[in-house]
Amino acid sequence: MPHITPRPDGRWTPLRYITAVTLTAIMAGFASPALAQDDRQTDVTVGYLNVMGSMHGTAIQVSRQLTARGTVAGEFDASRGPDPGEDDSTYTDFAALIGMRQQWRWGTRFTPFWQLLGGGLFSNGEGRTCSCGQAVSVTYLAVQPGVGITAMMTPRLGIRAQADVQIAGSTDAYLQGTSIFPRTTVGAVIRLLAR
């Protein structure tokens, strides 16, 4: 299992930046008054992604609320790290998905939701070899159900946390099968449009 170590030159790592932004948003939320959430809004979420406890990366999500409970959401994420079941392989994964989210307002700040996204996943394994002795790159079709909560701290800034499962089926004729990737994401929400 990989662990994060500080850089020897003292520079901040991306995880430290994400932690600092999240803590700042939380402190701003405690200092600000409650706010109303509008029906038509566009949110951009950027945050930390953890896949299977060993792969780390970034998730970017753009969502547009269509009705009081319905939202269309698109997501792009990238992650890198070892497979917990293999010692000699490191994977770099990229995914692009789109789908629908249903949410409920819980007071003036909190919005729990569930969502179902679908799209593609590209995985490149370094150190992973097939029977012919070559590295493997695999393209998957993926379905990603998940749940989460959005906490708005100000009218334009909030935090979103979600957990989902990416169920991916290989499109490669030689590497058929289904993979299941549990994932967690936490990030900052920037509200671009509210009316």
Model pLDDT for residues 2-36, shown as the tens digit of each residue: 444 444 445 555 555 566 655 565 555 444 444 44
CA distance 43 to 50: 21
Model pLDDT for residues 78-97, shown as the tens digit of each residue: 999 987 776 677 889 999 99
Structure tokens at 194: 């509210």
Confidence of residue 47 (pLDDT cuts 50, 70, 90): very high
Model pLDDT for residues 128-185, shown as the tens digit of each residue: 544 455 677 888 999 999 999 999 999 899 999 999 999 999 887 666 778 899 999 9
CATH assignment of the domain containing 27: 2.40.160.20
Is 8 inside a domain boundary?
A: no
Q: Are strands 157-170 and 135-152 parallel, antiparallel or unpaired?
A: antiparallel
Is 9 inside a domain boundary?
A: no
Is 73 inside a domain boundary?
A: yes
CA distance 193 to 154: 13
Is 1 inside a domain boundary?
A: no
pTM, rounded to two decimals: 0.74
pLDDT at position 2 is 41
CA distance 156 to 18: 18
Is 75 inside a domain boundary?
A: yes
pLDDT at position 173 is 63
φ/ψ of 16, rounded to 5, equals: -65, -40
| Cβ atoms of 84 and 51 closer than 8 Å | no
pLDDT at position 128 is 52
Is 70 inside a domain boundary?
A: yes
Structure tokens at 10: 């003292």
Is 182 inside a domain boundary?
A: yes
Number of domains the chain is built from? 1
pLDDT at position 107 is 79
Range of the domain at 27: 14-194
